[in-house]
Amino acid sequence: MTKRVTPATLTVDNFIDGAWVGSDERFDVRDPGRRADVIARVAVADEAQVDRAVESAHKALKPWGAISIDDRAAAVLRAADLIEAEAEKGIEGLAGVVVRETGMLPVEIIMELRGAAYAARDNVEAAKVALEPVIVEDKASIVRIEHRPIGVVAAIVPWNAPIVLLIRKFAPALVAGDTLVIKTPPTAPVGVAILMEKLAGLFPRGVINVVHGGAETGAALSAHPKVRLISFTGGGAAAKQIMKTAADTLKNVQFELGGNDAAIVLDDVDMNKAIPTLIAGAFHRSGQFCFAIKRLYVPESIYDAFFDKLVAEIDAFRVGHPMDPRTTFGPINNPGQLAYLKSLVEKTHAAGGELIELGHKVDPESWDEGNYMLPVLVRKPAGDFDIVTCEQFGPVLPVMSYKSEDEVVALANGTEYGLGSSIWTSDFERGVALARRLEAGMTYINKNAQSRLGRRHMPFGGIKQSGIGTENSELGLAEFTEIHAMNFHKV
């Protein structure tokens, strides 16, 4: 057993109008790998504090919007450099606290910080194209189309990758001239708050505000008449509530929600190359990311060989506390999610599903002190099992077999979700042709992630119940702007 070091509990406040603001009501943030450890005591923002945060952001709109796009872009690029510098510090820097609150591995969080820096830079690049006025002219008139800030943006961020998911909102909003009120996730608010306070110095006072709390804080933010856009990443039930609240003041909404992303292996796949990459696409962050592979479809002809290789690879995972250097697989972020995953496993078992628990416990004695579970494969479950039809958001992967491409397309599309998807093949043409038949916002081929080029150019988001609108690229940037069209009539 490794030596146990309990770091001091932090006090984290709301960040409003350039200053930390405490609150009488606080909640504890616990280490998901060692629940007894309270990482931070965090101030809850009540309605009055949310109002102050929005008013502060609203007041900052004029001075911030008056700065040129180039200067706003420069400030966002400096923010990107600061985030990257944090990544370089490893767990001695910001990554340390994010690892402890999320339960994600240091390598995952350091990658997340680097990804966040790139997301900021990519959005600046996209803004240079997207914010350029369009001017057309003929004998009778001139038309000029400008993109203006939408106003105060409420950015509501989830716990599973809080830094990068926030920066996807932060960067386009700020470069477009908007100001921000960020609501942090209750089980991972600390890293976001520390980073935002650090970055706020690059911007005029009030441009960045941070509030903490649960559904009530979110509701106060969604209802505030001076918020013009709610950009939310999280679950569908919360999204519905947000949209209903937003309706009263006709706010714009942009939602990136869950998925039940299918991975389709084709029979020409190079198994040795594909399997490690595919496993990362499913089990990275212990399966806790929106576009994780959530259903795996393997052709009947190669099923047994493919499944055996999966079992062998996944069995190598060592599940434990993320700060333990032996660990390659962290805990589940919160007890609610762990209980949901266990119930899915239980239901699958009760329905007669074949479950294979894999991997090893790093520290069996302290297993129950954290939200731990071993990765699980489900062999050939029936298509109507909950583990197939629901989003698990955790390390339980159902592996189905199929006979024809038509069959697998129908299975993949037979869901209310439509976020990502992936195809694994040696044949480019076949992969792209199949991709075009999938009902999803994104399809990755031969890796379940965006390439460097993809991060810059792909609008990130889903269709059907997986979202409204999109993030990243010129198309995502447009969500953070309003259009003002001017029409000069020549006399």
Map the footprint of another protein across residues 98-137, applying CB under 8 A. 134, 136-137
CB 218 within 8 A of CB 242: yes
Question: Active site residue: 112, 391, 471, 474, which one?
Answer: 471
> What Å distances lie between residue 333 and 161, 210, 313, 392, CA to CA?
11, 22, 23, 13
Catalytic site residue from 55, 256, 474, 479: 256
Site for another protein in 460-489 (CB under 8 A): 460-461, 463-465, 467-470, 473, 475, 478, 482-489
Tell me how crowded residue 213 is: count the other CB atoms within 10 A of its CB. Answer: 25
CB 39 within 8 A of CB 7: yes
Six-digit token string for 329:
């697989």
Alpha-carbon distance 111 to 158, whole Å?
A: 17
Distance CA(88)–CA(233), nearest Å, equals: 27
CB of 333 to another protein, least distance (A): 24
Under the criterion CB under 8 A, does residue 361 sit at the interface with another protein? Answer: no
Give catalytic status of residue 169 as yes or no: yes
Q: Around 44, how many Cα atoms within 13 Å sit in the side-chain half-sphere? A: 15
CB of 107 to another protein, least distance (A): 20
| Residue 423 CB, nearest approach to another protein (Å) | 9
Is 471 catalytic? The answer is yes
Judged by CB, which is closer to another protein: 165, or 419? Answer: 419
Count of CB atoms within 10 A of residue 367's CB?
15
Cα separation, 305 vs 274, whole angstroms: 13
Active-site hit among 55, 108, 169, 251? 169
Minimum CB distance to another protein, residue 282 (Å): 16
160 lies in the binding site for another protein (CB under 8 A): no
Task: Give phi and psi for 450, each to the nearest 5.
Answer: -85, 140
Cβ-contact 443, 435 below 8 angstroms: yes
Q: Which residue lies nearer to another protein by CB, 350 or 453?
A: 453
Cα angle for residues 345, 346, 348 (degrees, 5° grid): 65
CB atoms < 10 A from the CB of 428, how many? 10
- Nearer to another protein by Cβ, of 327 and 422: the residue is 422
Closest C-alpha among 292, 249, 480, 244 to residue 394: 292
Q: How far is the CB of 183 from another protein (least distance, A)?
A: 19
Give the bridge partners for 153, in sequence order. 180, 229
Residue 37 structure tokens? 């450890």
Subset of residues 137 to 156 that bind another protein, contact rule: CB under 8 A: 137-138, 140-141, 143-146
> Token pair for residue 213?
């709390």
**459 is an interface residue for another protein by CB under 8 A:** yes
Is position 246 an interface residue for another protein (rule: CB under 8 A)? yes
In angstroms, give the least distance from the CB of 305 to another protein: 23
Of 248, 267, 308, 406, which one interacts with another protein (CB under 8 A)?
248
Binding region for another protein (CB under 8 A) out of 42-50, 109-117, 168-176, 245-253: 245-253
The torsion of the CA quartet 150, 151, 154, 155, rounded to 10 degrees, works out to 60
Measured from the CB atom, is 71 or 308 closer to another protein? 71
| Cβ at position 155, least distance to another protein in Å | 18
Cβ neighbours, 10 Å, residue 141: 11
Note whether 302 binds another protein by CB under 8 A.
no
305 near another protein (CB under 8 A): no
b or e along 434-459 (b: 16 or more beta carbons within 10 Å of the residue's beta carbon)? bbeebbbbbbbbbebbbeeebbbbbb
272 binds another protein (CB under 8 A): no
The CB density around residue 248, as the number of other CB atoms within 10 Å, is: 10
Residue among 1 and 485 whose Cβ is closer to another protein: 485
CA distances from 190 to 22, 158, 186, 272 (A): 14, 12, 9, 40
Q: Is 289 in the site for another protein (CB under 8 A)?
A: no
Nearer to another protein, 3 or 436 (CB): 436
List the interface residues with another protein, window 202-241 (CB under 8 A): 228, 236, 239-241
Least separation in angstroms between CB 277 and another protein: 9
Cα 382 from chain centroid? Answer: 29
Q: 31 vs 256, which CB is nearer to another protein?
A: 256
Cβ proximity to another protein: between 292 and 396 the closer is 292
Nearer residue to another protein within complex by CB, 35 or 464: 464
DSSP 153-177: EEEE--SSSHHHHHHHHHHHHHHHT
3-state SS, residue 237: helix
| CB 252, min distance to another protein, A | 6
Binders of another protein in range 413-452 (CB under 8 A): 428, 431-432, 435-436, 438, 440-447, 450-452
Q: 39 vs 131, which CB is nearer to another protein?
A: 131
Min CB(247)–another protein separation in Å: 3
Query: Of the listed 290, 391, 474, 479, which one is catalytic?
Result: 290
Residues binding another protein (CB under 8 A): 134, 136-138, 140-141, 143-146, 228, 236, 239-241, 243-244, 246-250, 252, 255, 257, 428, 431-432, 435-436, 438, 440-447, 450-454, 457-461, 463-465, 467-470, 473, 475, 478, 482-491
**Residues annotated catalytic, as ranges:** 169, 256, 290, 471
